[in-house]
Amino acid sequence: MTRLFGTDGVRGLANGHLTAELALDLSVSAAHVLAERGTFAGHRPVAVVGRDTRISGQFLEAAVVAGLASAGVDVLLLGVLPTPGVAHLTGALDADLGVMLSASHNPMPDNGIKFLARGGHKLDDAIEIAIEKQLREDWQRPTGRDVGRVSTYDKTVDDYAAHLAGTVQGSLAGLKIVLDCAEGAAAEVGPQALRAAGAEVVPIHADPDGLNINDNCGSTHLDDLQKAVVEQGADAGFAVDGDADRVLAVDASGTVVDGDQLLAVLALGLREQGLLAHDTVVATVMSNLGFVQAMRGEGVGVRQTKVGDRYVLEAMKAGGYTLGGEQSGHIIMTNHATTGDGLLAALHVLERMAATGRPLADLAGVMTRLPQVLVNVKGVDKSRADDDTALAAAVAEAEAQLGDTGRVLLRPSGTEPLVRVMVEAPTQEIASDVAGRLAAVVKERLAL
């Protein structure tokens, strides 16, 4: 049986795979499971529900709220807020459950449901499996006065913006920043938080209409940000995705600064302050080899995990680490957050710039990126990627060709119907050639 939950909740085409009925049933089942496990024992349970700007979030929110309230859970509606904001308020408001409706960086027609446990942490795999197993199972639901109440929390944006700005020591005065809000959940709170910390902010793509989220903007499309930074004479630019749990940047010249480079800047800053636990940063196997080499050269350890911010977070919890992230821009700072937070990471990179007086290009120059090519192969059966012997042989051949001068990584996406082929090599030409050949094999062997 195919699991509903992926690496980042339940995600799919809104009103296709992800229907109102499924959203309602998942919410009822989540309340049922948590009640059975004693999470709600001794008090009236409370859940907070937030969403990004997708128009489908409106009917999915209604379905989730109906499911939770019918299961006896009081609901606080947070409205439009980044995923890490919902996680923060789940903890700050002492809620028993948090729910975020978003498909993150996916295109507008998709949406998703992410459940958060008390404190704002992602649910354990065991609980997600139990929710799936008990989906639509009969149980004694509350009636009368025991059904849930629904109300709106009206300080959502102000509370989260104040939390973000309050994590910064000193002022960001004198720094001019362009912020690409991806027409998403950060459109209001992002500029407010950066301004509260003292920065001058020029927002772009901050007029969401429910249809334009991630549409040629945000962390997956940096052209507009690069242009705006140069035109505005800004010190740097940051682009979040639709739910603002990831961030990428550009320096004053418009050159892209990716998640590995941002992670390197933050790692050295935290170590200097004595706040980098065990002098180690957690990254994934997708991190550029140049990042690993740079960190080791600076005496910072690198612990690598499978791809996915949940695996980074698991390793951070297990080892007591305070900083981790992905090349894609998911950056987790556990001194201030329970999940990846693009706005938080941007603020702390800016804090480093302000404290050192150094431009972002100089700070990011601590690492030299090895040429890397990433090809997303669509229209294939990703479930067969790990079992095809001919594909495995092609990967082995590519690895033998590169030897110690590069590496190959082939993996099915955890959130999208595609297979990712990543190649690092001494030159861009070699990386592109090897990646192209492997992508062709994937297309042929895993064709639908």
Beta carbons within 10 angstroms of residue 91's beta carbon: 18
Q: Which residues contact 61 (CB under 8 A, 6 or more apart)?
A: 49, 51, 77, 101
- CA–CA distance, 242 with 245 (Å, rounded to integer): 8
Q: What is the pLDDT of residue 2?
A: 67
pTM reported for the whole predicted model: 0.89
Report the SS3 class of residue 57. helix
| Structure tokens, 247 | 């961030």
Q: Where in the chain is the domain with CATH 3.30.310.50?
A: 372-445
d(CA 194, CA 196): 5
Q: Quick one: how far is CA 367 from the chain centroid?
A: 23
pLDDT value for 42: 86
- CA–centroid distance for 419 within its chain: 19
The active-site residue out of 27, 102, 104, 328 is 104
Burial of 120 (0-12, 13-18, 19+ CB in 10 A): buried
CA angle 65, 149, 339 (to 5 degrees): 50
Position 429 scores a pLDDT of: 94
Rounded-to-integer distance, Cα 241 and Cα 235, Å:
21
Q: Give the architecture (CATH level 2) of 169-364.
A: 3-Layer(aba) Sandwich (3.40)
Helix segments in 42-187, DSSP class H: 56-70, 83-92, 125-133, 156-166
Q: Which of 117, 122, 141 is nearest to 47 (CA)?
A: 117
Structure tokens, 372: 């890397």
Q: Which residues of 390-408 are buried (b: 16+ CB within 10 A; e: fewer)?
A: ebeebbeebeeebeeebbb
Pick the CATH number of 372-445 from 3.30.310.50, 3.30.70.1400, 3.10.450.50, 3.90.580.10: 3.30.310.50
Q: Which two tokens stand for residue 134?
A: 């008990």
Q: Which residue shows structure tokens 């229209």?
A: 379
Cα distances from 137 to residues 63, 99, 132, 140, in angstroms, run: 18, 21, 10, 10
* Alpha carbons 330 and 229: distance in angstroms, whole number: 22
Cα–Cα dist 342/72, whole Å: 34
Annotated binding-site ranges for Mg(2+): 104, 241, 243, 245
Secondary structure class of 204 (helix, strand, coil): strand
What is the C-alpha separation between 43 and 45, in angstroms, rounded? 6
Between the alpha carbon of residue 66 and those of residues 57, 147, 200, 319, the distances in Å are 14, 10, 42, 39
Instruction: Spell out the alpha helix ranges (H) of 170-236.
Output: 189-196, 223-232
Is residue 151 exposed (0-12), middle (13-18) or buried (19+ Cβ within 10 Å)? Answer: exposed
The residue whose two tokens read 């050639």 is 433
Nearest to 264 by CA among 348, 371, 165: 348
Annotated binding-site positions: 104, 241, 243, 245
**Cα distances (angstroms) measured from residue 156 to each of 87, 92, 162, 213, 425:** 12, 11, 10, 20, 46
Strand 176-180 and strand 74-80: pairing?
Answer: unpaired
Residue 102 designated active-site: no
- Domain 10-156: CATH superfamily is Alpha-D-Glucose-1,6-Bisphosphate, subunit A, domain 3 (3.40.120.10)
The span from the CA of 92 to the CA of 76, in Å, is 13
Distance CA 251, CA 360 (A): 6
Question: What residues contact 119, with CB distance under 8 A and at least 6 apart?
Answer: 90, 91, 338
Per-residue pLDDT, 344:
98
DSSP single-letter state for residue 235: S
* Among candidate residues 288, 327, 289, 335, the one with its CA nearest the CA of residue 308: 327
Locate CATH 3.40.120.10 in the chain.
10-156, 169-364
Which residue in this structure is represented by tokens 């969403």? Answer: 51
φ and ψ at residue 441, rounded to 5 degrees: -65, -45
Per run of 10 residues, the mean pLDDT along the chain (length 448 residues) is 79 95 97 92 94 98 98 98 98 97 95 96 91 90 95 97 96 97 98 98 98 97 98 98 97 97 97 96 91 93 90 94 95 96 98 97 94 92 89 94 87 84 92 95 91
Nearest CA to 241 out of 304, 309, 303 is that of 309
